[in-house]
Structure 1
Amino acid sequence: MSTPLRPGDPATLGRYELAGRLGEGGMGTVFLGRGPDGRPVAIKMVRPELAYESEFRARFRSEVNRAKQVPPFSTAEVLDADPDHEPPYLVVEFVDGPSLAAEVREKGPLTGAALHSVAVGTATALTAIHSAGVIHRDLKPGNVLFARGGIKVIDFGIAQAFDATSQHTRTDQMVGTVAYMAPERFDPKDGRPVTAAADIFAWGAVVAYAATGRTPFAADSAPATAMRILTQPPDLTGLPQSLLGPVERALAKEPQDRPTARELLDLLLAGSVPGPVSPAPQSSPAPQSSPAEHAVPIPPEADTMMMVAATAAPEKPRRHRTRAAVAAGAAVLLVAAGVGAVLRYMGVAGGFDAAGDAPSTPASASATAKPGPAKSVTPEEKLKKIMTGKHRTLIHVVEIDRDFALEGRYSELEAKDGTGAKSEFALVPAGVDHLIRALYDPNGPEVCLGIRLIPNEAAKIVPTTCDTSEGTLFELFPTKRKDDQGRPTYYITSDRHGSLQWRADPGEFYVDHTGDAEPATTFSFVDRGPMPSPSPGR
């Protein structure tokens, strides 16, 4: 589903007329367009700052030429490109169908023929992509679409031009999505380049997600997920026996132990697969949520995601959800040939243990412990309890010294003096992001903050249901500044829609992209004590 063009968007690109926006990501903006024959197409316009680099244009041209050689079965066909246009753009087949991510989120895991269709269709797509000398680099459920006639894989072919350009090859950057990234991408050895084997690992994670509704290394934070990818076997509980062998082989830690795409496809079509390499840990499947009632229309995920590490120079907030690197406990620094990377999410996740959870005390220990003086809770511990949904919080708007306030289900978010239940919220973890739940009515239905899109205007913050969607998930991105009480400050951002900000005239909150500029509004969190039982924390 597309959204309207924004002020400043071009009306045309080359011979293509632009009709709306499909998405935005690390490389640029994806538009819904129409060719001279009226055929709908998806047009990826490269970010202007990349277009100025001659090396990027050269790599873009090379990658586009390769992508055009990919057979158009099980993939979105590359139709056209103009590397010399200002800015450059790529035109691909428009696939009018839901993504695998949306299908699983709204209807639950796939079974039977539908699941095997996804497994075979994505393996077929990778066979075609790899045979043309292309590596996808960001295979994930959002890039697998259900089209008329079968599965279509999108967004392949030009990620390497972005990843390998001189300005974008620092050791603290890469292209990908953490939950589907192969171990070697976090810990490269001897400067070896990414190979097609990384796509095979992503295939295994995608099929496991399709079958179970969760990723095989799922954890409460991106750092914990990355650590599990590096050190733990996958949790494949619920995967049908017919797919267990291929998926386990695809998720092997070492690239050379994974099958090629062709071998993978042969295994699936033959219906005879080797037994598991090693037993997967067994645990109860994650509960499935009910179909989401989205606060905003959700366009397909349309671009690769740039990940930037905390060890880099101070960065402006980005709209790219995943970042490269790993932290566990306070932090774990991965070093390979003298090169390390640490997730930007350390500012939020640094207090988690290796599994991404807050430390707990065994029941046996609490039963035998002798009473002692009450231990004071440090500000860091309070913040961790807020971030994990265990404590209530005021959300303080630093620049105007006011706090979030929501009077009721049909009120807009306001800035008030921080008194009463209307100003109390819970930050409910949802993967690497958070739902922001209002607590003004503990006995009423759950209400969370969501984003309402308004044509030709900045998006607004409104109350909505607490379903996880791109309209209700917010990233808490730490800044290096503190408020006047010494509390850490954060930007609150939406991966798709931009940063949450305050506008003094007419006095309202809104969400919009800030480009290369830092958002003008920062937020801190004021502890208001434990949540009532049961807590909304997950």
Structure 2
Amino acid sequence: MSMPLRPGDQARLGRYELIGRLGEGGMGTVFLGRGPDGRLVAIKMVRTELVHDAEFRGRFRSEVNRAKQVPSFSTAEVLDADPDHEPPYLVVEYVDGPSLAAEIKDNGPLSDTALHSVAVGIATALTAIHGAGVIHRDLKPGNVLFARGGIKVIDFGIARAFEATSQHTRTDQMVGTVAYMAPERFDPADGRPVTAAADIFAWGAVVAYAATGRTPFAAESAPATAMRILTQPPDLSGLPESVRYAVERSLAKDPVERPGARELLDLLLAGGKAQPLTVTTRPLSGTAPPVSTAARPASGTVYPSGGIVPPADVLPASAPRRRSGKLVLAALAVALLAATGVVAARYLPRGSSASADPSLAPSAAAHSAAPSAAATLTAAERLAAIKGGRHRTLIHLAEDDRDLALDTHYTEVTAGDGTGAKSEFALIPLGVDYMIRTLRDPSDPREYCLGVKILKDGDARLVGADCENSEATVFSLLRTEGNKTDDKNRPTFWIYNETYGYVQWDSAGKYLYVQEVGDAPPVSTYSFVDRGPLPSPSPS
């Protein structure tokens, strides 16, 4: 339900008429608006103190571009944004329904059936969000809304723009609600990036709250709650068996021990009956030796020989985890069917069961089959292996049918014919971002990645640089508008650096440069050509 506008509130933002207030928070004010077509929308107007911050606007633009790639099932669709408006704003689908926080406050904890549907719905939303390279960062009951036919997760994809603007966000003002924040978020000084695993922790805390009406680390103050998150096991008393195992795993202190969003779906659709196992993560054939989850290195760990073993839970949600694409789609379809029962199930009388509708039951066949280890990799599996840092790749310039190359002395990157080691690269995952390592000279003890160099005339060029995590060497892969593909039907991406802009190809001058673009999308798009597994790390 919206509240009236206050004196001094604007009547319009861009093309949108403002007709009421929906809420206010640390990021800004949310208005109920009406678009030119008469559709009701929710409009988040950014805080006034951030209006003149160029760094914030750049990050806001980047995060909005990411958020637009998120499929709209179980999430509120991102419809529009104007980072250059005074003030900047974001337009999303308006969901006319109560939040999970309001529902629990008014009616108490959910019944087992409704709880399971909510858990599946949020996990489905996280699968979509993480698959688009986005981390929510502020998942909490207030950001889970009941809608017709299911639930909608809102406010994803822009928290990073606020959190990363250091002059406006002090260490005691991190974006997020303490009770749902993962342990690693309280100690950013240790150098670990926030990954998708932080959202998985929040999922566990939200589901526990929905089941019991209290958070699993509840204490008398925010600092005391943070201390319990860091040092104490969760209080899961009263949690139904159907979700207990998944919640326990999600609330692990170490992010690498938490499941990914898709694995959560598997656990929930299997009835939550899985038992803890000692799991060994086995990379694809020809890559690094098996790594025990207990000894798994930190995200983006680079071995002396150049092999990279990323945590499974920071891989894109599109990574199939050694299952066939058909099984993945079947599991997601079952998840969506299960999630559609959430509203009806919530309002059943306490203690009653949902009607036995076979269309909402998880399919045993979806969990009994498994592809053979020798199965040929699908296109999605190859892309996941490249983005996970396990396979070599060519970086194909789709518009000119050429491939990036770093030739001699690690100077400017050029576009060539895709032959030789100079054209091969490996991605190093850093949460949802990447460093791009050249494989041109495996005998060189130093490692070189792609980086941005500012020339004397102010132009920015793509060059070879030391593989150090810096603003010049970290890039995002943004899926192109309309999910376009190249001539071989491979997905295409924009390569984007948050500080300097998009990687572009000058076809006349035959060089690559980096530049922010205006309202029009960047002209250069890139696809990734699988060149097989990376060599295993050499014995120490």
TM-score with structure 2 length normalisation?
A: 0.50
User: How far apart are the structure 1 equivalents of 2:246 and 2:216?
Assistant: 14
Determine the structure 2 residue equivalent to 1:159.
159
User: How far apart are the structure 1 equivalents of 2:222 and 2:166?
Assistant: 27
User: How far apart are the structure 2 equivalents of 1:263 and 1:210?
Assistant: 20
Q: 2:100 touches 2:210 (CA, 8 Å); kept in 1?
A: yes
User: How far apart are the structure 2 equivalents of 1:67 and 1:110?
Assistant: 30
Amino acid in the other structure paired with 1:201: F
Determine the structure 1 residue equivalent to 2:259.
259
Q: 2:246 touches 2:272 (CA, 8 Å); kept in 1?
A: no
Report which of the two has the higher share of helix.
2
Cα distance, 1:172–1:220 mapped onto 2, change above 3 Å: closer
User: How far apart are the structure 1 equivalents of 2:226 and 2:65?
Assistant: 33
Q: Post-superposition shift, 1:112?
A: 2.4
Q: 1:109 touches 1:212 (CA, 8 Å); kept in 2?
A: yes
Amino acid in the other structure paired with 1:118: V
Q: Post-superposition shift, 1:276?
A: 6.1
Determine the structure 1 residue equivalent to 2:81.
81
Amino acid in the other structure paired with 2:51: A
The reply to whether residue 36 of structure 1 matches residue 36 of structure 2 is yes
Q: Post-superposition shift, 1:37?
A: 1.1
Amino acid in the other structure paired with 1:20: G
Determine the structure 1 residue equivalent to 2:186.
186
Amino acid in the other structure paired with 2:193: P
Q: Post-superposition shift, 1:273?
A: 3.7
Cα distance, 1:43–1:131 mapped onto 2, change above 3 Å: same
Cα distance, 1:166–1:228 mapped onto 2, change above 3 Å: closer
The reply to whether residue 134 of structure 1 matches residue 134 of structure 2 is yes
Determine the structure 1 residue equivalent to 2:14.
14
User: How far apart are the structure 1 equivalents of 2:84 and 2:78?
Assistant: 17
User: How far apart are the structure 1 equivalents of 2:198 and 2:264?
Assistant: 14
Q: 2:182 touches 2:202 (CA, 8 Å); kept in 1?
A: yes
* Partner SS, residue 22 of structure 1: strand
Q: Post-superposition shift, 1:242?
A: 1.3
- Superposed, 1:439-450 pairs within 5 Å as none
Amino acid in the other structure paired with 1:80: D
Q: 1:55 touches 1:166 (CA, 8 Å); kept in 2?
A: no
Deviation string, structure 1 residues 430-480 (Cα, Å, up to 9, x no partner): xxxxxxxxxxxxxxxxxxxxxxxxxxxxxxxxxxxxxxxxxxxxxxxxxxx
Amino acid in the other structure paired with 1:12: R
User: How far apart are the structure 2 equivalents of 1:201 and 1:276?
Assistant: 17
The reply to whether residue 122 of structure 1 matches residue 101 of structure 2 is no
User: How far apart are the structure 1 equivalents of 2:276 and 2:108?
Assistant: 26
Give the aligned CA root-mean-square deviation in angstroms: 1.6
User: How far apart are the structure 1 equivalents of 2:140 and 2:59?
Assistant: 24
Amino acid in the other structure paired with 1:114: A
Determine the structure 1 residue equivalent to 2:491.
none
User: How far apart are the structure 2 equivalents of 1:4 and 1:193?
Assistant: 40
TM-score with structure 1 length normalisation?
A: 0.50
User: How far apart are the structure 2 equivalents of 1:272 and 1:24?
Assistant: 37
Amino acid in the other structure paired with 2:109: P
Amino acid in the other structure paired with 1:104: I
Determine the structure 2 residue equivalent to 1:245.
245
Amino acid in the other structure paired with 2:46: V
User: How far apart are the structure 2 equivalents of 1:224 and 1:183?
Assistant: 13
* Partner SS, residue 256 of structure 2: helix
User: How far apart are the structure 2 equivalents of 1:173 and 1:49?
Assistant: 15
User: How far apart are the structure 2 equivalents of 1:197 and 1:209?
Assistant: 19
Q: 1:63 touches 1:157 (CA, 8 Å); kept in 2?
A: yes
* Partner SS, residue 139 of structure 1: coil
Q: Post-superposition shift, 1:188?
A: 3.1
User: How far apart are the structure 2 equivalents of 1:171 and 1:213?
Assistant: 29
Deviation string, structure 1 residues 408-435 (Cα, Å, up to 9, x no partner): xxxxxxxxxxxxxxxxxxxxxxxxxxxx
* Partner SS, residue 168 of structure 1: coil
Determine the structure 2 residue equivalent to 1:351.
none
- Superposed, 1:488-527 pairs within 5 Å as none
Deviation string, structure 1 residues 75-129 (Cα, Å, up to 9, x no partner): 0000000111111100000000001111111111001221111100000011111
Q: 2:135 touches 2:196 (CA, 8 Å); kept in 1?
A: yes
Determine the structure 2 residue equivalent to 1:58.
58
User: How far apart are the structure 1 equivalents of 2:189 and 2:52?
Assistant: 31
Percent identity for Structure 1 against Structure 2: 85
User: How far apart are the structure 1 equivalents of 2:82 and 2:150?
Assistant: 29
Aligned length: 278
User: How far apart are the structure 2 equivalents of 1:272 and 1:63?
Assistant: 34
User: How far apart are the structure 1 equivalents of 2:240 and 2:270?
Assistant: 16
Q: Post-superposition shift, 1:275?
A: 3.2
Amino acid in the other structure paired with 1:223: P
User: How far apart are the structure 2 equivalents of 1:125 and 1:179?
Assistant: 20
Q: Post-superposition shift, 1:267?
A: 1.3
User: How far apart are the structure 1 equivalents of 2:103 and 2:137?
Assistant: 22
Q: Post-superposition shift, 1:169?
A: 5.3
Amino acid in the other structure paired with 2:78: V
Amino acid in the other structure paired with 1:167: Q
User: How far apart are the structure 1 equivalents of 2:94 and 2:276?
Assistant: 38
Determine the structure 2 residue equivalent to 1:107.
107
The reply to whether residue 176 of structure 1 matches residue 181 of structure 2 is no
User: How far apart are the structure 2 equivalents of 1:106 and 1:167?
Assistant: 39
Amino acid in the other structure paired with 2:106: E
Determine the structure 2 residue equivalent to 1:5.
5
Cα distance, 1:219–1:190 mapped onto 2, change above 3 Å: closer
* Partner SS, residue 190 of structure 2: coil
Q: Post-superposition shift, 1:72?
A: 0.0
User: How far apart are the structure 1 equivalents of 2:53 and 2:232?
Assistant: 40
Q: 1:2 touches 1:22 (CA, 8 Å); kept in 2?
A: yes
Q: Post-superposition shift, 1:274?
A: 2.9
Amino acid in the other structure paired with 1:53: D
Q: Post-superposition shift, 1:35?
A: 0.4
Q: Post-superposition shift, 1:235?
A: 0.7
- Superposed, 1:404-443 pairs within 5 Å as none
Cα distance, 1:240–1:272 mapped onto 2, change above 3 Å: closer
User: How far apart are the structure 2 equivalents of 1:170 and 1:220?
Assistant: 23
Amino acid in the other structure paired with 2:85: H
Amino acid in the other structure paired with 1:100: L
Q: 2:244 touches 2:272 (CA, 8 Å); kept in 1?
A: no
Q: Post-superposition shift, 1:58?
A: 0.7
Q: Post-superposition shift, 1:265?
A: 1.2
Q: Post-superposition shift, 1:269?
A: 1.5
- Superposed, 1:202-217 pairs within 5 Å as 202-217=202-217
User: How far apart are the structure 2 equivalents of 1:151 and 1:100?
Assistant: 9
Cα distance, 1:108–1:171 mapped onto 2, change above 3 Å: closer
Amino acid in the other structure paired with 1:15: R
The reply to whether residue 199 of structure 1 matches residue 199 of structure 2 is yes
Deviation string, structure 1 residues 203-228 (Cα, Å, up to 9, x no partner): 00000000011101111211211111
Deviation string, structure 1 residues 277-298 (Cα, Å, up to 9, x no partner): 9xxxxxxxxxxxxxxxxxxxxx
Determine the structure 2 residue equivalent to 1:269.
269
Q: Post-superposition shift, 1:142?
A: 0.6
